[in-house]
Structure 1
Amino acid sequence: MTTYSPSARSVTPLLLLFSFAVALPLVVLSFYNHPSPTDDYCFANTSMRYGFWQSQQIYYDGWSGRFFHNFLVHGSPLTFGWYEGYKIYPIVLLSLLALSFYAFASQWLYNAFVFNTKLAFAAGLFVGFVATLTSLSEYLYWYAGMACYSLSSVFLLFLLAVLLAHQRRGFGFEPGHLLLESLLILGIIGSSETSMVMVMSVLGMIAFGELVLRRRLSIATLILLVVGAIGCYYLISAPGNAIRMGSNPNSRDIPLTLLSSLQFAVGYVARQIFLTPLLPLSLLYVPVAYRLTANRPLPTYLRIHPLLALLHGAVTVLILISLHFYAVGVAPAYRLVNLINLVFWLSWGYNLTLLVVVFRPQPESWQRFARPITIVALLWVAVAIGTGPVLPMAYGDWISGRAAQYDQAMQERYNQMAQVGDDTARVSPLSVYPASLFMEDVKSDPNHLWNRCWADYYHKKTIVLKDSPAPTAH
């Protein structure tokens, strides 16, 4: 990302190499992916039994107001019996994620930098985010999780890119920009409550910046706030939300939520800073931020006081952490932490840029250290992603053959389930499963929801899991 020394010329190809190293096993593993007993079959059954539109109303009234998520899961490949779709959509999602990072990078840096710098910036973000996913399976390979959380992260990055492009044109009343922004906002809000907080935080920051610096709100901001408010209303007011919240006795405990969220946040921030490539990538980004903020006057979003931006980022991350404590009474699920990671990284980069605006050290004070800093930072990134949670697991599942064994075992199960005339399907537990792909199997209790949904999908009365040694986790 840096452009201030001969060694910096290697930053772009090396970050692209890191990106390839991260993406390669994820693409290969996609060809071994299968629908999960966790929710996938239940959504498909509802859609096949009651129809696509009626099933969404059933879920909206009876369980969840996530209207965009409901739209996607009730049109899943499983609904059409298209198992190959589960091998294709992870690749599509990964491609969209990479494209969204570049779209954001190209608009954030815009015409102040050449293509190579924008590409390096996007590659750094891609590597940092994907290589430190808390749960790879829930982000990339679980269809219900993709529809609820993963796609909203992609939409957020595209939204930021469109907002930046709109801002350069004065952030006025431009129907094309406003329509695209509104659709992205509604898609994000309709995905989950976590996504809702994510996007409303962005809109709130835009409105706050305009009020502080211009003493007024633009018509575009007002329109987007109204669109966001409408989306929030339909998400929060859904009858199903009250039913879902009421089913958990530990929900809505405010003292527990506040205390637990603060305790979780301390450990979370420490892990992000010291156990991810965040610091070395920040070192590579500082010279970029220095050049980005050189031209005056600065855009509105770069004239916010760093303390206010830091407070905004900290509050946003804390609220995202607290959502699961408030709703369920326990720490955020890994799929939620994946989204929190993205918000944390984006907020970190934004605040780092604002600090460069304020302090602006003279180039002479750090250019003589440019070469060793660049080399150390790149080595640090390589070590961080190589020892992180994703690469060892993904390459291990691929190279060891665990993913292939899992794929073969699932194909055998499908053949068994397709047999006619047997109302009870007795399946053996998987002898091995790839942790990068696998979430949950059917349960030993034939009345468990996952068993019943899988049985219904294949027109069986019950599915019984045979007594066998427990599968080996890797």
Structure 2
Amino acid sequence: MISSTSSRFATFLLLSVALLVAIPLAVLSFYNHPSPADDYCFANTAMQYGFWQAQQFYYDGWSGRFFHNFIVHSSPLTIGWYGGYKIYPLVLLALLIASVYALASQWLYGFDTRTKVTFAAGLFIGFAAMLAGLAEFLYWYAGMACYSLSCVLFLFLLATLLAHGRQGFRLQAKYIVTEALLITGIIGSSETSMVMVMSLLGLLALGELIQQRRLSATMLVLLIVSAVGCYYLITAPGNAVRMGSNANSSNISLTLTSSLRYAVGYVTRQLFATPLLPMSLLYLPIAYRLTAQPLPAYLRIHPLLALLHGGATVLVLISLHFYGVGIAPVPRLVNIINLVFWLSWGYNLTLWVARLRPRFQPALWQPYAKPALVGIAVWVTLTVWFGPVVHMVYEDLWNGRPQAYDRAMQQRYEQLTTSGDSQAVLAPLPVYPASMFLEDVKDNPEHLWNRCWADYYHKKTIVLKANTEREGLTQ
């Protein structure tokens, strides 16, 4: 369907844009620091009560997210390792790249390496360049433990399930143990992640029932594992405490109306403000090759059923925050919704190509391939550059905000570790780099972030001087 020259151009385009996205994200990691938002509070709890007792404290008193609790209470702050906050974003970024390539390798099993790399680069761009909350995904440890890591684990789970599926989902210990661990980690990260993985398992189980009239032993094992994980997440005593603290939670009518309105705007933005459509055009020749007979079981699902499943999953993910706290999903939740939307879109697009394949006439498209690729290149570059991540990151780096932020934080550490145990009065940060900064301590010494900082540094109180003149401050 596409010449080798055009194929190489597509690979070059997507790899170039992927590097345009990845390199500055890696550079920013060297200026990262623990955030006053939650990071110090989790560290204090682990240091005061012990690693295991701290997790039990949160499970009983605030959150049933058992895997998240495990990660946050083992943060670098618990051993005073500030350098760990410059390393973990690099590790997370490397894991994200590895996971998209693992998925590409299994989804395009039997394809050449260049095609797999091209597909992986496209998926990485579509996710990383469109992150609704970059700081929350990559540079905030508590957010990484709750949401970001589950996205990476989900991609690895998809790759493992595809590899296992080629073996007929037989009872093979290496696959089942890996899948069970990944499922448990994803479910234990957050309620949003739980819905994401249960939706996937539900689709796989439904496909088996439709095509085989029974569930395989492997699927039964995975469903049991997921059910146990869901039970411990949902029934945690801390969840009732957290939900009960918000008067706007559990409003069903508000959830339904608000979710539908939000979904309309969300889908519109995905179609016209992201590289989704040009990426889809680049994927069509790959999907055409992928859907050559014989089709694997997961590509024999009826497209309308898959479309209904994908739409329902995205809508449920959107509704979770409306149901929980009565407001639209915050950026760290939108990051997960974006991943599910893009994966579902690609899957549905493949199913429709399989269904309509006899009507394709590749020879008729060949003369238009080169001019189309030029247009797609411009389209992808513009949507990525003016998206929520790339322009912001390069602007911060160009203006030196991360470097100034890093110097100011080092000065704060020196002040906090060399002064006595009395009140510490901190000067406001000179800049708030939007690409990596989440929240600062407040001018109210009783605020939770201030109290956690004060406890960590053995101060009576910590106060932030009032100053509204700061560069780079974003809402």
Taking structure 2 as the reference length, what is the TM-score of the superposition?
Answer: 0.98
Shift of 1:261: 0.3
Aligned to 2:89: 90
Aligned to 1:384: 383
C-alpha separation between the residues in 2 aligned to 1:204 and 1:410? 47
Aligned to 1:226: 224
The alignment partner of 1:418 has SS state of helix
Aligned to 2:62: 63
Shift of 1:425: 0.4
C-alpha separation between the residues in 1 aligned to 2:238 and 2:145? 18
Aligned to 1:159: 157
Letter in structure 1 aligned against 2:307? L
C-alpha separation between the residues in 1 aligned to 2:468 and 2:330? 28
Aligned to 2:305: 308
Alignment of 1:313-328 (within 5 A): 313-328=310-325
Kept in 2, the 8 Å contact 1:423–1:462? The answer is yes
Question: Which residue of 251, 259, 262 corresponds with 1:261?
Answer: 259
C-alpha separation between the residues in 1 aligned to 2:467 and 2:275? 41
Shift of 1:420: 3.7
Aligned to 1:245: 243
Shift of 1:427: 0.5
C-alpha separation between the residues in 2 aligned to 1:146 and 1:452? 23
The alignment partner of 2:108 has SS state of helix
Kept in 1, the 8 Å contact 2:184–2:226? The answer is yes
Computed over aligned residues only, the root mean square deviation of the Cα atoms, in angstroms, reads 1.0
Shift of 1:208: 0.5
C-alpha separation between the residues in 1 aligned to 2:399 and 2:470? 16
C-alpha separation between the residues in 2 aligned to 1:180 and 1:288? 29
Kept in 2, the 8 Å contact 1:7–1:375? The answer is no
C-alpha separation between the residues in 2 aligned to 1:369 and 1:302? 28
Aligned length: 471
C-alpha separation between the residues in 2 aligned to 1:203 and 1:233? 16
C-alpha separation between the residues in 2 aligned to 1:50 and 1:3? 61
C-alpha separation between the residues in 1 aligned to 2:207 and 2:468? 59
Q: What do residues 271-308 of structure 1 show as CA deviations (whole Å, max 9, x unaligned)?
A: 01100000000000001000000121x11110001000
Kept in 2, the 8 Å contact 1:73–1:144? The answer is yes
C-alpha separation between the residues in 2 aligned to 1:200 and 1:4? 40
Question: Which residue of 187, 190, 207 corresponds with 2:188?
Answer: 190
Kept in 1, the 8 Å contact 2:2–2:369? The answer is no
* 1:286 correspondence with 2:276: no
C-alpha separation between the residues in 2 aligned to 1:143 and 1:450? 15
C-alpha separation between the residues in 2 aligned to 1:224 and 1:265? 31
Alignment of 1:429-444 (within 5 A): 429-444=428-443
Aligned to 1:116: 114
Return 417-426 or 437-446, whichever deviates more. 417-426
Shift of 1:365: 3.1
C-alpha separation between the residues in 2 aligned to 1:393 and 1:32? 16
Runs of 4+ in 1 over 6 A off after TM superposition: none
Kept in 2, the 8 Å contact 1:207–1:217? The answer is yes
Kept in 2, the 8 Å contact 1:281–1:381? The answer is yes
C-alpha separation between the residues in 2 aligned to 1:46 and 1:358? 55
Aligned to 2:446: 447
Aligned to 2:341: 344
Shift of 1:270: 0.4
Unaligned runs of 5+ in 2: none
Shift of 1:5: 5.0
C-alpha separation between the residues in 2 aligned to 1:383 and 1:300? 37
Aligned to 2:353: 356
C-alpha separation between the residues in 2 aligned to 1:162 and 1:375? 35
Shift of 1:397: 1.0
Q: What do residues 405-442 of structure 1 show as CA deviations (whole Å, max 9, x unaligned)?
A: 00111111111111242410000111211001111110
Q: What do residues 118-150 of structure 1 show as CA deviations (whole Å, max 9, x unaligned)?
A: 000000000111011001000000000000000
Q: What do residues 323-361 of structure 1 show as CA deviations (whole Å, max 9, x unaligned)?
A: 000000000010000000000000000000000011111
Kept in 2, the 8 Å contact 1:442–1:451? The answer is yes
Shift of 1:371: 1.8
C-alpha separation between the residues in 2 aligned to 1:133 and 1:292? 28
Q: What do residues 364-417 of structure 1 show as CA deviations (whole Å, max 9, x unaligned)?
A: 232232222222112211111111111111111112101100011111111111
Shift of 1:467: 2.2
* 1:423 correspondence with 2:394: no
Shift of 1:470: 4.0
Unaligned runs of 5+ in 1: none
C-alpha separation between the residues in 1 aligned to 2:470 and 2:454? 21
C-alpha separation between the residues in 2 aligned to 1:240 and 1:290? 49
* 1:33 correspondence with 2:40: no
Identity %: 66
Aligned to 1:77: 76
The alignment partner of 2:269 has SS state of helix
* 1:299 correspondence with 2:296: yes
Kept in 2, the 8 Å contact 1:148–1:191? The answer is yes
Return 60-69 or 386-395, whichever deviates more. 386-395
